[in-house]
Amino acid sequence: MLKIRFALLDLPLMSGQWVSITVFDATATDGEQAKLLSNLVEEAKLQTGIEAELSALGYVQDGAPMYYGADDVVQYLQKHGVPEWTHQIEV
């Protein structure tokens, strides 16, 4: 089993709307980011009961923080990063 950290955040997006999001500390080694994100969202829901409106993956590639997910979330995270990991799940 792997432990995956994630953050549950309430953020203002570029549109000015506030939404709840989850950001998972993970990346797909096979390039299947969308599938991994979907699986982690489902696992977080099952294991913690947490449901968010939007979600993203956060990871480091070549020493730089990278994000994959909903465009508004990615834009926000590129500017502000992830403040801290708040939860974890086992997969």
**C-alpha distances in angstroms, 38 versus 65, 68, 80?**
20, 12, 23
Q: What is the mean pLDDT of residues 36-64?
A: 95
Phi, psi of 74 (to 5 degrees): -60, -45
Q: What is the pLDDT of residues 58-85, one digit of tens each?
A: 999 999 999 999 888 898 899 999 889 9
pLDDT higher than threshold 80 for residue 14: no
Q: What pLDDT score does 47 carry?
A: 96
Q: How confident is the model at residue 16 (pLDDT cuts 50, 70, 90)?
A: confident
Report the chain's mean pLDDT, rounded to a whole number: 92
- Quote the CA–CA distance of 82 and 73 in Å, as a whole number: 11
Helix or strand (DSSP H, E) at 36 = helix 33-48
pTM of the full predicted structure?
0.90
